[in-house]
């Protein structure tokens, strides 16, 4: 039994076999083959195997995840049946007498390049599908699992580090906990673990070569302790503690339909932070008053190409229809810094957190921004939507946003497409915005304070840098003053103000938020009932 200490990013206890996550790349070499018929036979078998797997994944996606994924796997099956693709691969094997995996890769690359050069966004996104199918097919051919990383049973995921894009594509329902060697407590990976409501730790000094997938482990997210090869006594203690926690969660459900109000009659809305339509069940269970932050950028991080207007429209509409009359705050994509989709092609920056991110990308690339605005405006017909713009620093940006929105509305009008313009607000997450909140409040519909970035920029503290976790002090006077001034400015201008950064879930801050008149706290769905219980005791 070995014990490791690290920093907790989410409480909870897990006991499960380890699954080690490694970034792997398949290397394919060109090889000469003597028997090309046998090679084509090998290709055909691999196609059958992969088609069966796509069919299983499509069925499972239809049941558990969402129609989008089911559609994707059905489209993948069509690619495997495509005469041009498969026919050309077979011809290449025959004519050049080369191995199937090399032929698949080369033909797919050619087709993907052709798609990428096309005008229509739809065709361009087919390039990524082609590459994904080819990647999986070559993996089957060389005898690996078709997926770069597949989770087939409950596990504690252990990794050197995880990017938000990697975390969001993991098979969440089987992951019982996350442990990383690197990472910081306010990174988006940590935030995703909180949204998944599973115990998680970062900064665990593990040598990944000394442990193996399948080895038993115990994770105590409350105390930041990770144990590999636990002895019998530890396993029994863990099991008892897990049963106790399950009873506590059950008990918390009795708060679901109660008001979020203090004993002296002050109420505050409790909203949920989500990253995907997959989080909606957890929101429902939590009895949230609405969605206070839909981090739409995860739609961009999940896929291998830009989510087109239809895909985004369907996601927003689904969230809005599920929430009924309750408000849903859709934040426009906050891409950049640690949230980088590979296909975006943003050049490496010296200081990405201070760089080309969020609203700056949207304003400089209106063709991308407009696709999202169109999807949100169209979906807004189906519920109580609000739009939230991230990383705003001054009123001048609001004027620019207004112009892009106006053009988008004109286009929808011209096409006769039904739409609704929702109330628009801004994140207060830069010191510039916080200290000019009085001016910004005159020009916008609501405020949502993003304490994660507000702390990073105010305290000059990179939120990605785990070495600085001890310096991460979100309750310092500098931050409290900014929060207080922001709420006061909002109310003087008759608009609402909430907090959607991680500080909203810190129960030692709840009294402060209520005393200064904060209107809403938006937290991970798994935290809502705990927070409500606390508020009702104040």
Q: Which residues of the shown chain bind ligand PEP in the complex (CB under 6 A)?
A: 191, 295, 334, 429, 450-453, 500-501
Region from 64-72, 309-317, 423-431, 520-528 binding Mg ion, contact rule CB under 5 A: 423-431
Q: Which residue is nearest to Mg ion (CB)?
A: 453
User: Which residues does the annotation mark as catalytic?
Assistant: 188, 500
Q: Which of 140, 38, 30 is nearest to 90 (CA)?
A: 38
Least distance to ligand PEP from the beta carbon of 451, Å? 5
- Give start and end residues of each alpha helix (H) in 97-198: 100-116, 121-141, 164-168, 188-196
**What's the burial of 83, exposed, middle or buried (CB within 10 Å: 0-12/13-18/19+)?**
exposed
Look at residue 28 and give the partner it binds from ligand PEP, Mg ion, none, a contact being a CB closer than 5 to 8 Å depending on partner kind.
none
Q: Which of 537, 535, 328, 337 is nearest to 429 (CA)?
A: 337
Least distance to Mg ion from the beta carbon of 337, Å? 9
**Binders in 431-460 for Mg ion, by CB under 5 A:** 450, 453
Least distance to ligand PEP from the beta carbon of 427, Å? 7
| Residue 43 or 388 having the CB closest to ligand PEP | 388
Give every CB contact of residue 184 below 8 A, 6+ residues apart in sequence.
190, 202, 203, 463, 464, 465, 466, 468, 469, 472
Q: H/E element holding 409?
A: helix 395-415
Look at residue 39 and give the partner it binds from Mg ion, ligand PEP, none, a contact being a CB closer than 5 to 8 Å depending on partner kind.
none
The helix/strand count (H/E) of the chain reads as 20, 16
Look at residue 458 and give the partner it binds from Mg ion, ligand PEP, none, a contact being a CB closer than 5 to 8 Å depending on partner kind.
none
Phi/psi-derived region of residue 156, left when phi > 0, alpha when psi is between -120 and 50, beta in every other case: beta
Neighbours of 522 (CB within 10 A): 26
**What's the burial of 299, exposed, middle or buried (CB within 10 Å: 0-12/13-18/19+)?**
buried
Neighbours of 516 (CB within 10 A): 16
Beta carbons of 68 and 302 less than 8 angstroms apart: no
Least distance to Mg ion from the beta carbon of 458, Å? 13
C-alpha atoms less than 13 angstroms from C-alpha of 416 in its C-beta half-sphere: 0
Give every CB contact of residue 133 below 8 A, 6+ residues apart in sequence.
50, 76, 79, 80, 108
Cα torsion for 163, 509, 457, 224, to the nearest 10°?
-40
| Residue 190 or 514 having the CB closest to ligand PEP | 190
Give residue 433's Cα distance to chain centre: 25
DSSP secondary structure of 69-118: HHHHHHHHHHHHH-HHHHHHHHHHHHHHTB-HHHHHHHHHHHHHHHHHTS
| Residue 115 or 457 having the CB closest to Mg ion | 457
Least distance to Mg ion from the beta carbon of 187, Å? 12
Look at residue 295 and give the partner it binds from ligand PEP, Mg ion, none, a contact being a CB closer than 5 to 8 Å depending on partner kind.
ligand PEP
Look at residue 451 and give the partner it binds from ligand PEP, Mg ion, none, a contact being a CB closer than 5 to 8 Å depending on partner kind.
ligand PEP
| Residue 127 or 483 having the CB closest to ligand PEP | 483
Q: Does 292 bind Mg ion (CB under 5 A)?
A: no
Least distance to ligand PEP from the beta carbon of 167, Å? 13
Residue 182 and residue 443: Cα distance in Å, rounded? Answer: 41
Least distance to ligand PEP from the beta carbon of 453, Å? 3
Give every CB contact of residue 240 below 8 A, 6+ residues apart in sequence.
none
Least distance to ligand PEP from the beta carbon of 512, Å? 17
C-alpha atoms less than 13 angstroms from C-alpha of 534 in its C-beta half-sphere: 17
> Applying CB under 5 A, which of residues 68, 135, 220, 429 lies at the interface with Mg ion?
429
Q: Which of 229, 220, 169 is nearest to 198 (CA)?
A: 220
**What's the burial of 105, exposed, middle or buried (CB within 10 Å: 0-12/13-18/19+)?**
buried
| Residue 397 or 429 having the CB closest to Mg ion | 429
DSSP 497: E
Look at residue 500 and give the partner it binds from ligand PEP, Mg ion, none, a contact being a CB closer than 5 to 8 Å depending on partner kind.
ligand PEP
Beta carbons of 102 and 141 less than 8 angstroms apart: no
Least distance to Mg ion from the beta carbon of 452, Å? 5
Beta carbons of 295 and 524 less than 8 angstroms apart: no
Look at residue 277 and give the partner it binds from ligand PEP, Mg ion, none, a contact being a CB closer than 5 to 8 Å depending on partner kind.
none
Look at residue 327 and give the partner it binds from Mg ion, ligand PEP, none, a contact being a CB closer than 5 to 8 Å depending on partner kind.
none
Residue numbers of the site for Mg ion (CB under 5 A)? 429, 450, 453
């Amino acid at each position: 039994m070995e014990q490791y200490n690290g920093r907790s990013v989410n409480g909870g206890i897990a006991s499960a076999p380890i699954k080690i996550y490694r970034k792997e790349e398949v290397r394919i070499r060109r090889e000469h083959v003597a028997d090309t018929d046998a090679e084509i036979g090998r290709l055909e078998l691999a196609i059958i195997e992969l088609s069966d797997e796509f069919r299983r994944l499509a069925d499972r996606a239809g049941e558990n995840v969402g129609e989008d994924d089911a559609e994707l796997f059905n489209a993948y099956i069509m690619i495997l049946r495509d005469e041009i693709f498969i026919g050309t691969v077979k011809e290449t094997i025959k004519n050049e007498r080369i191995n199937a995996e090399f032929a698949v890769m080369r033909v797919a690359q050619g087709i993907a390049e052709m798609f990428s050069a096309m005008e229509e966004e739809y065709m361009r996104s087919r390039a990524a599908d082609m590459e994904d199918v080819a990647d999986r097919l070559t993996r089957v051919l060389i005898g690996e699992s078709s997926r770069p990383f597949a989770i087939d049973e409950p596990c504690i995921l252990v990794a050197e580090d995880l990017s938000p894009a990697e975390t969001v594509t993991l098979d969440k329902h089987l992951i019982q906990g996350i442990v990383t060697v690197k990472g910081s407590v306010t990174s988006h990976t940590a935030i995703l673990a909180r949204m998944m409501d599973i115990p998680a730790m970062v900064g665990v000094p593990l040598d990944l070569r000394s442990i193996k997938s399948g080895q038993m482990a115990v994770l105590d997210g409350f105390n930041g302790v990770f144990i590999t090869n636990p002895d019998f006594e530890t396993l029994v203690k863990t099991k008892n503690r897990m049963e106790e926690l399950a009873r506590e969660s059950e008990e918390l459900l009795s708060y679901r339909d109660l008001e979020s109000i203090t004993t002296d009659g002050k109420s505050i809305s409790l909203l949920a932070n989500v990253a995907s339509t997959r989080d909606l069940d957890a929101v429902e269970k939590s009895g949230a008053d609405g969605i206070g932050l839909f981090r739409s950028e995860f739609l961009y991080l999940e896929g291998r190409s830009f989510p087109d207007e239809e895909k985004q429209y369907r996601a927003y509409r689904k969230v809005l229809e599920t929430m009924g009359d309750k408000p849903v705050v859709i934040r426009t994509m906050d891409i950049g810094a640690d949230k980088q989709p590979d296909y975006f092609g943003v050049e490496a920056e010296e200081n990405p957190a201070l760089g080309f991110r969020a609203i700056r990308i949207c304003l400089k690339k209106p063709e991308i921004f407009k696709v999202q605005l169109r999807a949100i405006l169209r979906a807004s017909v189906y519920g109580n939507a609000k739009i939230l713009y991230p990383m705003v620093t001054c009123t001048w940006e609001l004027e620019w946003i207004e112009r892009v929105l106006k053009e988008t509305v004109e286009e929808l009008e011209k096409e006769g497409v039904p739409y609704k313009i929702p109330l628009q607000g801004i994140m207060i997450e830069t010191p510039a915005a916080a200290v000019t909140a009085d001016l910004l409040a005159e020009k916008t519909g609501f405020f949502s304070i993003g304490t994660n970035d507000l702390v990073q920029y105010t305290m000059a503290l990179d939120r990605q840098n785990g070495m600085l976790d001890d310096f991460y002090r979100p309750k310092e006077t500098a931050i409290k003053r900014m929060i207080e001034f922001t709420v006061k400015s909002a109310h003087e201008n008759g608009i609402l103000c909430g907090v959607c950064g991680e500080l909203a879930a810190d129960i030692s801050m709840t009294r402060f938020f209520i005393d200064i008149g904060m209107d809403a706290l938006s937290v991970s769905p798994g935290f809502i009932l705990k927070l409500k219980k606390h508020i009702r005791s104040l």
